[in-house]
Structure 1
Amino acid sequence: MAKRPTNNNRPRRRQSLPTTQATISQLNDEGVGIAYHEGKELLVAGALAGEKVLVAIEHSGQRRSIGQLRRVLEKSPLRRTSPCNLAERCQSCALIQMDYEAQLRYKSAKLKQALADFEMLKDLQPQPILAAEHPLGYRTNAKLALSKERGKVHIGLYRRGTHKVVDIEDCPLHHPLINRIVRTVKDEIQRQKIFIYDPQTRRGLLRYLLIKVSPKNEKAMVTFVTAERNYREITHLAKWLARKVPEVISVHQNINGSTGNVVMGRETIRMLGVPDLIDQVGDIRLRISPTSFFQVNHEQAARIYELVRKWAALENHETALDLYCGIGGIALHLAKDAGSVTGIEVVEEAVLNACENARMNRLGNCHFLAGDSAELIHDLAPDSVKVAVINPPRSGCQAEVLEALAELAPARIIYVSCNPATLARDLDLLHEKSYRVTELQPVDMFPQTAHLETVVHLQHRN
């Protein structure tokens, strides 16, 4: 049984912060406004380039200060009315106050600047960004933190640079089903008086709420992350949620007893419903487990997968390699044309999902391997792969992976990136390994944020 957290601290009186006027010169790579105050860089989330603003100084370091936007004194013509009334408090969507066309121009300039940092890439000309048809309501999964203040339950995101949870019941970026689930869970936690985990006292039960939605099927999977194994409260909560929101067809409990910032622990228990969520992107059906990663924007993911398939231009006797394959979304699309496709992924559970997805889609020419990419690439015969697809995390590829891939010498490489800076770094290395960029297509996978997805087509010079 979880212990009831105690809090004998009286509410602290809010201290007034020093304020100053500042002019925003530009936005940084995270979409945060940059001004200069007392010879130091001043970061102001929610401000746009060219704006004169009133700022409260929250933190002043040796080289940089953090400011809180209090009022816009002179507005940028690019500013619009934000669709989120919590934007200034939450600060998770850095560009939500900016006109959407201006967001695309900002991201395009960000990509070009990242390429310009490398001599051999500075003359590359990306195609215009593929804009999102639906720049709101596109997020199909959410990882939300829980907290309790003065007896009130909060479910939402950490405010930028803090561990304070901003309560969000109606996030404009979330799929509407996610918002319904959040409201229902919050009401039931409050009603049952379930104890929320306090990271300071390390006491309490509920830590995080994870939600995954299949927009194709209008179904959802919910995972409660708890500090310890619990049956009674979480079972009651799961049954109540499934009764109030019948679209919830799967509820799990993940146990995370660590004291760090890792969201999920190693053990996951199914509380009720089906074990996995069945989803679909393009014409490929996907089985998604509680712990597996998948893209948050299905519409834009489908466009990326189709573009990768088009550029791969595989024939039925050719072989493809998919690195960082996850649950197999790209590999399965390639398998429709290829003779065979090999997917490599370090997360074993994702590989199990990928194998099941291949069976579910009746694609017997796919097989998946769990392990280190560089080591497994060395097991493949040189010139045995016609096309290799790379879809790494934000940190990009390890140099060992790119070097092993260059030794394998596929005729074409397709790089799917979610970080322009690490993309440019890796493209520069591939250029040294006799690959040249032939096409470069940015895709706005994450509207209202500073993030950008980019798909790059490279060909071997020989």
Structure 2
Amino acid sequence: MRCAYFDAELCRSCAWMGRPYGDQLAAKQAHAESLIEGGPQWLAPHASAESGYRNKAKMVVTGTAAEPTLGILDAAGHGVDLLECGLYDDSLQAAFPVLAAFVAHANLTPYDLATRTGELKNLLVTQSPDGELMVRFVLRSQEPVTRIRKHLPALLDALPVLRVASVNLLPDHRAVLEGDREIPLTEQETLLMRVNGIDLHLRPQSFFQTNTEVAAALYRQATAWIDDLSPASVWDLYCGVGGFALHVAAPGRDVVGIETSVEAVASARLSSDGLAGIRFEAADATAFAQAHQAPELVIVNPPRRGIGAQLAGYLEASSTTHVVYSSCNAESLARDLAAMPSLRPVRAQLLDMFPQTTHYEVLTLLARVQ
């Protein structure tokens, strides 16, 4: 894949842009194998489309209300327009100029880092597998909300695939994408993500994997391993919107999903409505585990920092016989595995969630050494 933004040194977010994709995949596989000791059986890596794979755009808004720029900030804090970024497919790219025109139409002044003035900080756009959109306006205050509501019908007409719209409030001057408070703008508040025939409901502040096709493969592989083991009880820790839990739910199997995000748990509960034997709770994964008897199998899908010493120590000392560990950081995974020597990695697969970058997902099945 070639990128005009990268070649012109306007955006260097994709550090491996221009590197042959086969070389990227081989380098990632070698890196993962060098970190995960114990000689697991490695499945062939799951490749991704090289371009058009991202389902979420995180656009910093700069410029003026009349001529907004959607993209990123350069090293000097100036806006770089990324409307034609090749990481997004054509249908998602087509939404960007419509949203830029709406910013001008609703007179939403972009936030200026230097002067700390203006209102609109970011636009967060998520696309479902069906091509429907969720759009979130990240604002410094509620002042523009009335204008957004007034002009929203025009945006819905111009962008008929838009299903969910909201305002996120980020009053602080911080290098983060969003704040804690969400104001819904549309009657529909969840975006339907159909993955492997399972309907996942995504609320505005819920996490979902960036690459839908590779996420689907991740869930399929984990489900295959778990169904082979046929555990009667499963925990899905750091469950997000319940992707793993909903995939492994089965008659006679007790599945519990744990996630700190209240919004994600609300999404998971909506997706699981009517299903027996599965429930979701908003709680800290480590605190929940330490307060309960371990199930037969535990799924963990932590953030980049990993599960940490406390949860690893709990799993090491527990009676659970298998752990399925999905990691976006093989280095923290390796640290966690070292703290669980009784749980040996027996199978593993690299899934390339982030082509053109050094990042990837690795799925590992751990079995307790007898």
Please, what TM-score do these two structures have when normalized by structure 2? 0.93
Q: Which residue among 306, 316, 319 is the counterpart of 1:406?
A: 316
C-alpha contact (below 8 Å) 2:297/2:322 kept by paired residues: yes
Higher relative contact order (CA 8 A, sep 6+): 2
1:76 paired residue number: none
**Identity over aligned pairs, percent:** 30
Q: 1:392 to 1:163 in 2, by over 3 A?
A: farther
SS in 2 for 1:169: coil
Q: How do 1:243-392 and structure 2 match up within 5 A? A: 243-313=157-227, 318-336=232-250, 339-359=253-273, 362-382=274-294, 385-392=295-302
For each residue in 1:294-341, what CA deviation from the matched residue of structure 2 results, as whole angstroms up to 9, or x when unmatched?
Answer: 011111111111111111126777001111001100001111365110
SS in 1 for 2:205: coil
C-alpha contact (below 8 Å) 1:196/1:207 kept by paired residues: yes
1:111 paired residue number: 32
**1:451 counterpart letter in structure 2:** H
**Superposition deviation, residue 124 in structure 1:** 5.3
Question: Following the alignment from structure 1 to structure 2, what is the Cα–Cα distance between the partners of residues 338 and 93?
Answer: 45
Q: How do 1:174-193 and structure 2 match up within 5 A? A: 174-193=88-107
C-alpha contact (below 8 Å) 1:340/1:365 kept by paired residues: yes
C-alpha contact (below 8 Å) 1:234/1:253 kept by paired residues: no
Question: Following the alignment from structure 1 to structure 2, what is the Cα–Cα distance between the partners of residues 111 and 292?
Answer: 28
2:19 paired residue number: 98
Q: CA RMSD in A?
A: 2.1
Question: Following the alignment from structure 1 to structure 2, what is the Cα–Cα distance between the partners of residues 237 and 200?
Answer: 29
Q: Which residue among 51, 61, 64 is the counterpart of 1:146?
A: 61
**Superposition deviation, residue 177 in structure 1:** 2.9
Please, what TM-score do these two structures have when normalized by structure 1? 0.75
**Superposition deviation, residue 110 in structure 1:** 2.1
Q: 1:271 to 1:287 in 2, by over 3 A?
A: same
Paired residues, number = 367
For each residue in 1:50-87, what CA deviation from the matched residue of structure 2 results, as whole angstroms up to 9, or x when unmatched?
Answer: xxxxxxxxxxxxxxxxxxxxxxxxxxxxxxxx432112
**Superposition deviation, residue 241 in structure 1:** 2.0
Question: Following the alignment from structure 1 to structure 2, what is the Cα–Cα distance between the partners of residues 97 and 460?
Answer: 42
**Superposition deviation, residue 397 in structure 1:** 1.1
C-alpha contact (below 8 Å) 2:32/2:330 kept by paired residues: yes
C-alpha contact (below 8 Å) 2:64/2:109 kept by paired residues: no
Question: Following the alignment from structure 2 to structure 1, what is the Cα–Cα distance between the partners of residues 64 and 203?
Answer: 32
Determine which structure has more spread, i.e. the larger CA radius of gyration: 1
Question: Following the alignment from structure 1 to structure 2, what is the Cα–Cα distance between the partners of residues 282 and 330?
Answer: 11
1:31 paired residue number: none
SS in 2 for 1:86: helix
Q: Which residue among 85, 110, 127 is the counterpart of 2:4?
A: 85
**Superposition deviation, residue 238 in structure 1:** 2.8
Question: Following the alignment from structure 1 to structure 2, what is the Cα–Cα distance between the partners of residues 249 and 135?
Answer: 28
C-alpha contact (below 8 Å) 1:207/1:225 kept by paired residues: yes
Question: Following the alignment from structure 1 to structure 2, what is the Cα–Cα distance between the partners of residues 254 and 337?
Answer: 39
Question: Following the alignment from structure 2 to structure 1, what is the Cα–Cα distance between the partners of residues 228 and 245?
Answer: 12
Q: Which runs of 5+ in 2 are unaligned?
A: none
**Higher normalized helix content (fraction of residues):** 2
Q: Which residue among 326, 336, 357 is the counterpart of 1:449?
A: 357
For each residue in 1:372-398, what CA deviation from the matched residue of structure 2 results, as whole angstroms up to 9, or x when unmatched?
Answer: 21221122225xx11111101111112
2:83 paired residue number: 169
Question: Following the alignment from structure 1 to structure 2, what is the Cα–Cα distance between the partners of residues 316 and 92?
Answer: 42
**Superposition deviation, residue 193 in structure 1:** 3.9
1:71 paired residue number: none
C-alpha contact (below 8 Å) 1:315/1:338 kept by paired residues: no
